Chain A
């Protein structure tokens, strides 16, 4: 690649080049070793059989579009779960963003680390884990799914919102403080109007991502299309599973397309 041109360059330090190639070689050896473990040793190739047999299994998944009408209601449920999960996150993210923004946080020594901690916790926990915890407490159904989605998107939304608050112009905030407005008035009339376009963009972005997340919640009992998918997989009705995958994929693609259009117009 470009390296052929670089080695011929007398201005380049040969030591640096040597170090670069050695690190690439070490990385390659590690990857090949892992590849040997996972692909050669970790897979039962005899059970898998020949290429034809694999292709035969793949062909079981060819979608059966006669099944499609039955997936419409679960798909709608998934959309509703995604919508209400996002709506709940919108409400809950404001106080956390308020705590985690350095310039407006009420008690910098307590609320700032608390807000940051909640953001990290929410961002680094998979929605399936949240769903498992809520399901073990509340039982199966869409309600734990909604709560899991809300907990999951909370972190990202609070993070972007608090960054927007930190970047907000201090002028209106100081002007309102000079007039004697209290913290909440300052937040709602001094900060919110400034961050509103960014906030709306993030909400739409999260709604789009949450459709994708909501579709798998059913695998652990969180309602929606995932439940149906888990059932048909268990019954080995692979053609129906194929239909569901096609349905979800098209729904997610349409959602992403709409969300990109709206956000492009907002900015």
Chain B
């Protein structure tokens, strides 16, 4: 008996030592990775320590206070309205494209698992993977400066963002209603309109509102690459080093985002 206890104890100590050895090696590798990253990224260490002072100076002296009079200018006001318009139009058109796509990309009710399902999935995955700002730059190169390119970028973003959420909510529906309809000889469209949409509609409306909120957030920055909206003035003011006016634009962006978030939160809460 005693020998067994002794053996268990020895095994336990052995396992403990091995675990601590593994931890030690992992920590060493992590530190090595840290220094290797600094080397690869060319991060100047001496700057890291002096950065807080410069950052504080930058924020207190050059960014604050924001010069809010700049926002009152007509061209800036127009660009803010254009930003909101872009987000509404992009989100609406995007949603109209996304709804059928989400139906095709839901494994449980898709009309064709062989062709349409992988196609719709691929569209959603690829549009999700592309960074919006790069896509916007490509669109600006094709369609020229202006809100049209930005709107198309938002459409792309909606397909990737809302498409995934909508398809997931379709995949979570109760299949009994679908089967009951199929048993009566309903075709795929009957199933969509009388079994799928009534079940997911409340959920989808929530996603649509949330998506608009996300698109407004995206649209504030699109102008940075010339795709319409107020981001253009942010870039302009930064490039001529007018930080006080740039800060005013940033304040407006944050204000817009907070307002849209509150609106979307309240709309969604009323829904459920």
Contact = CB atoms under 8 A, between A and B. Distances in A.
A48 B134 contact: no
A61 B140 CA distance: 13
A134 B193 CA distance: 51
Interface in B119-170: 125-126, 128-135, 137-138, 141-144, 146-148, 151
Given A31-B88, A133-B58, A219-B133, A80 B138 contact: no
A245 B43 contact: no
A7 interface: no
A50 to B, nearest CB: 13
A190 interface: no
Contacts of B126: 249, 253
Interface in B88-117: 88-89, 92
A212 B85 contact: no
Nearest to B53: A137
Contacts of A132: 234, 238, 246
Interface stretch (B14-22, B179-187, B221-229): B221-229
B54 A249 contact: no
A223 B40 CA distance: 12
B243 interface: yes
Nearest to B194: A2
Contacts of B194: 2, 5
A152 B42 CA distance: 22
A26 interface: no
Nearest to B63: A133
Contact of A48 (B55, B143, B224, B243): B143
Contact of B148 (A5, A42, A57, A58): A42
B175 interface: no
B243 A136 contact: yes
Interface string A130-161: 00111011110111000000000000000000
Contacts of B59: 133, 137
Contact of A2 (B144, B198, B220, B221): B198
A72 B238 CA distance: 31
Contacts of B134: 215-216, 219, 226, 229, 244-245, 248
Contacts of A139: 47
A185 interface: no
B228 A215 contact: no
**Main SS at interface, chain B:** helix
A143 B47 contact: yes
Contacts, number: 163
Given A37-B85, A141-B42, A245-B138, A134 B55 contact: yes
B261 interface: yes
A241 B138 contact: yes
Interface stretch (A93-101, A103-111, A118-126, A162-170): A118-126
A244 B86 CA distance: 27
A238 B142 CA distance: 10
Interface of B: 37, 40-44, 47-48, 51, 54-55, 57-59, 62-63, 82, 85-86, 88-89, 92, 125-126, 128-135, 137-138, 141-144, 146-148, 151, 193-194, 197-198, 217, 220-221, 224-225, 228, 234, 238, 243, 246, 250, 253-254, 257-258, 261
10 contacts: A38-B151, A38-B228, A39-B151, A54-B142, A126-B217, A137-B54, A143-B44, A215-B131, A215-B134, A233-B137
Interface of A: 1-2, 5, 30-31, 34-35, 37-39, 42-44, 47-48, 54, 57-58, 61, 76-77, 80-81, 83-84, 120-121, 124-126, 128-129, 132-134, 136-139, 141-143, 212-213, 215-216, 219-220, 223, 226, 229, 233, 238, 241, 244-245, 248-250, 252-253, 256
Given A34-B89, A219-B137, A253-B126, 4 more contacts: A136-B58, A213-B131, A216-B132, A245-B138
